[in-house]
Structure 1
Amino acid sequence: MFNKRVKIKELLATDKANYEATVMGWVRTFRNNQFVALNDGSTNANLQIVAELGKFDDALLKRLTTGACIKATGEIIPSLGKGQKIELKASAIEILGDCDAEKYPLQLKNRPSLEYLRDIAHLRFRTNTFGAVFRVRHTLAYAIHKFFNDKGFVYLHTPIVTASDAEGAGEMFRVTTLPVDGSAPKNDDGSVNFKEDFFGRSTNLTVSGQLEGELAAMAYSDVYTFGPTFRAENSNTTRHLAEFWMIEPEVAFNDLEDNMNLAEEFIKYIIRYAMDNNKEDLEFLAQRLEEEEKQKPQNERSELGLIEKLKFVVDNDFERLTYTEAIEILKESNHNKKKKFQYIVDKWGVDLQSEHERYLVEKHFKKPVILTNYPKEIKAFYMRQNDDGKTVAAMDILAPGIGEIVGGSQREERLDLLLQRMEEMHIPAEELWWYLDTRKFGACPHAGFGLGFERMVQFVTGMGNIRDVIPFPRYPKSAEF
């Protein structure tokens, strides 16, 4: 019976012997016509299956190729081989699925490149690297839900199809049932008549669930969203995806200070949870990253290994300073030639680049940093305006090796100032009437932040490209699977 199988991770965790077990998985290697290295995805470690010579017919043994799926039953016995404490002495082996060794894309003598594996994303789960990455991804997702659940937050599912643009970016994917051949119904001015569309108006894939989250926070106080978001940016960098997942908590009665406290606690919690529950996977990924670093020129190598980088975050109190203070530090650094930046910081009001953020974290403070009170001109319309008339109550958390990892703010709860800011940014108030209603009926101070899930997975696993931390990455000219 299939439900009698034991996971390899469970077997190897106990190292008990002298009992019968059934395991199922995929053949990694088969050597000397006798020893099968079997993996079921529960761990990167393989269980050795011993097929006694003369016990199984040649026709079966020939089918034990790399990639084949098998069921093996037998006695768990102490192993005399190196690197393993137990093995399974097979009394029965059943082929559940054959694999043509000559055509199997992972039948390679050398380690396949990550670029090659993206082209066969349907099979890359079977490699050690992606086995570790996606087990860590699972743990982080679980830790996120556990963190907020234990704090009494309500998990909210926000719309994927929306008529609003929370960020004002304009780079969105349109959702429509109208024909794309130019025959769509038109208005008198020649524009597309979206009243004839499925939803009766122009709609897009969401870029954020934040605005809807704010609505719920006005009833439940503490809510969070965790769902897919989409950006139609024609970007091919190692940090951008067209489809990614966002975590966005929204809390009533919180100000900027409360928001920073929650975000710092949250980040430390989920990283620590992964370190406690995926120790072997992280050690494997750390070793892999160390090998990659050795191939780089000395001046391009990271000063921190993967485990050290994670401890750097969980073991330090985050440094907190204003954007204005950060600008002065960066200007002074450039003036004293402590650091030569590609993008020169020579005035207040510029948007910081990753190199600036990493300098503050890795060189100047040597700890994670939370920057606050950014110029309002470079931030979204919904952020609470400070009394100076120049800045907003925004905050970004900066981490080593990656720069910004969290962005958030206290939201503008004052209707008159929110309307004024929307007018300045040319955001039609009539399209967000429902959002403005929350400022009319029982408004209160509230705050929230957003964490790109893939960016966090990338940070925790040490993977260099964000396309390698989501199962089926979506980016320009790529939607194969």
Structure 2
Amino acid sequence: MKTKFSEMRTIKELLNNPVVGSHVAVQGWVRTRRDSGSLSFVEISDGSCLANLQVVAEESLANYDEDVKSLTTGCAVKVVGELVASPAKGQAVELKADQLQVIGLADADSYPLQKKRHSLEFLRTISHLRSRTNALGAVTRVRSTLNFGIHQFFQENGFFQVQTPVITTSDCEGAGEMFTVTALEPDQLKKDGAFADDFFHKRAGLTVSGQLQAEIFALSHSRVYTFGPTFRAENSNTSRHLAEFWMLEPEMAFCDLQCNMQLAEAMIKDLVGRVLEECAPDLDLFNKFISKGLLNRLETIKNKPFVHLSYTDAVKELEKADKQFEFPVKWGIDLQAEHERYLCEEVAGVPVIVTNYPKTIKPFYMRLDDGEETVAAMDILVPGIGELVGGSQREERYDLLKARMEEAGLDLEEYGWYLDLRRYGTVPHSGFGLGFERLVQLITGMQNIRDVIPFPRTPGNAPC
């Protein structure tokens, strides 16, 4: 049920259901103003959709000379008037102003956004204003649609959302790239055993994954998911990495690797379909200006089944490729982005699910396959991105999990709670992690991950 909390109408509402002759009130920011004789044509946007609303202001308005003629790009206004049929091409209606109130001025000499295309590199320097542009505004709407779609998909399929901790004492990946959370002063940290005197009486950090905690609730509620910010203190300044990013991590009890892959593929197809339906104008913008052929690629992802390859078969495909890779290929290596993209772009032409990776390149919690050389892991590789999803069936057998943890050098006492899950009612279970920003990249065609998150956090960069 929609709640009416304002007399204001959004531009999206007006343009999706225009009622000529109706009196309406809208608020927004000026994109452009041009004068023609006794009229001013003011384009305004409120961010609700890609399209602007043209306001026609006549010189008979009481504040025409004082306010209307002074409007510049970036000014905030409120307009009350009549919705009328528009004689101009490209718009069905326009708003004939009865009142135009200037709410907030923008200094034309210093306002950095004008009626021209700005480079994405420049826009990253003004993260507090870049969401007002067409491209970044469209990213925001797509991101919101995907966020809502994720919750809809999992709620419709019997999953419960679990909020896993942002501050954790468990390192899921064992990568040692966690941000430390401490209440100690720098000089106190220099002492041996300093963390025993810290807030949690042990070393704590910002989470790199909520998976381990999600497993707790999967083994009591069967189907759960966690979706929130994760952090990695990796000193990388590439177009693929962020220090703060969002992760979606579903976890299911009584579910093997096959079940896990089916869920991930169904979810991706569902989300792509939602955006194609709900964000068509935004996707048209991306298809035209950001990534040619984007719409065709998304339709392919939505409509064609994903290709399945074992890691061993994937390596064989790469070894016989008529291409020189920067990173040489042999069995046992961790596939690089160039390998992943080649498999889905050149070999399959659709997303590829690679399974059964060598255990030596995967974390301790993944279930050992028969033969104990590989694990029941799966990665979903997509065009333009490479790895989008990484998941596995979890090792539910106590003795094998304990041995893997010892091999990884983990403190068994510290992770005793995780082993307990295998001592008390253990069952086969599986899950995956999806990097939300990579999903937004896939659907928008944006090449740099910093352009699909509102406030990118990278080495040396946290402006607001």
Q: Shared fold (TM-score greater than 0.5)?
A: yes
Distance 1:184-1:375 versus aligned 2 partners, 3 A rule: closer
What SS does structure 2 have at the residue aligned with 1:429?
A: coil
1:457 aligns with 440
Contact 1:63 1:95 in 2 (8 A): no
Paired position in structure 2 for 1:250: 251
Q: Distance in 2 between matches of 1:263 and 1:228?
A: 20
Tell me the CA shift for residue 53 of structure 1: 2.1
The 3-state SS of whatever aligns with 1:382 is coil
Distance 2:204 2:101 in 1: 52
Separation (CA, whole Å) in 2 of partners of 1:185 and 1:120: 38
Q: In 2, Cα distance between the equivalents of 1:56 and 1:89? A: 15
Letter in 2 for 1:100: D
What residue is the counterpart of 1:398 in the other structure?
381
Q: Which AA in structure 1 matches 2:373?
A: K
1:51 partner letter: A
Letter in 2 for 1:287: K
Partner of 2:318: 330
Deviations 1:308-340 (A, max 9, x none): 11112111111112101111121122xxxx222
Alpha carbons 2:40, 2:69 under 8 Å: kept: no
State the Cα distance separating 1:81 from its structure 2 match.
1.6
C-alpha change, 1:2 and 1:376, in structure 2 (3 Å) is closer
Shift of 1:203: 0.3
User: Cα RMSD between the aligned structures?
Assistant: 1.4
Partner of 1:342: 326
* Matched position secondary structure for 1:431: coil
> 1:267 is matched by which residue type in structure 2?
I
Partners of 1:6 and 1:38 in 2: how far apart?
13
The answer to whether structure 1 residue 164 and structure 2 residue 147 are counterparts is no
Determine the structure 2 residue equivalent to 1:94: 101
Using the alignment, how far apart are the partners of 1:271 and 1:343 within structure 2?
32
Q: Secondary structure at the match of 2:416?
A: helix
Following superposition, the deviation at residue 184 of structure 1 comes to 4.1
Gaps of 5+ in 2: none
Q: Which position in structure 2 is the counterpart of 1:139?
A: 145
1:71-82 matched pairs, under 5 angstroms: 71-82=78-89
Distance 1:470 1:328 in 2: 36
Cα distance in 2 between the residues matched to 1:120 and 1:364: 40
Equivalent residue number for residue 387 of structure 1: 370
Using the size of structure 1 for normalisation, the TM-score is: 0.93
Percent identical pairs in the alignment equals 55
One-letter amino acid matched to 1:400: P
- Per-residue CA deviations over 1:95-139 (Å, capped at 9, x if unaligned) read 1111111111113x5322111111111111110111110100000
State the SS of the aligned residue for 1:374: coil
Aligned twin of 1:20:
23
TM-score (norm 2): 0.96
Out of 278, 287, 303, the position equivalent to 1:315 is 303
- Aligned-residue offset at 1:219: 0.2
Equivalent of 1:442 in 425, 428, 433: 425
Whether 1:85 and 2:73 are equivalent positions in the alignment is no
Q: Report the Cα distance in structure 2 between the residues aligned to 1:62 and 1:427, rounded to whole angstroms.
A: 69
Letter aligned with residue 347 of structure 2: H
Superposed CA offset, 1:118-175 (max 9, x none): 1111111110111110100000001100000001101000000001100000011000
Letter in 2 for 1:3: S
Using the alignment, how far apart are the partners of 2:125 and 2:340 within structure 1? Answer: 33
Query: Secondary structure, in 3 states, of the residue corresponding to 2:236?
Result: coil
Return the alpha-carbon distance in structure 2 between the equivalents of residues 358 and 112 of structure 1: 29
Amino acid at match of 1:340: Q
Structure 1, gaps ≥5 residues long: 294-304
Which string of whole-angstrom CA distances, capped at 9 and with x for unpartnered residues, describes residues 291-311 of structure 1? xx6xxxxxxxxxxx1111111
In structure 1, the residue matched to 2:219 is 218
What is the match of residue 103 of structure 1?
Answer: 110
Further displaced range: 428-437 or 371-380: 428-437
Aligned counterpart, 2:344: 361
On the 8 A contact 1:406/1:449 being kept in 2, the answer is yes
Q: Distance in 2 between matches of 1:341 and 1:201?
A: 44
**Correspondence for 1:376:** 359
**Residue type of the alignment partner of 2:99:** A
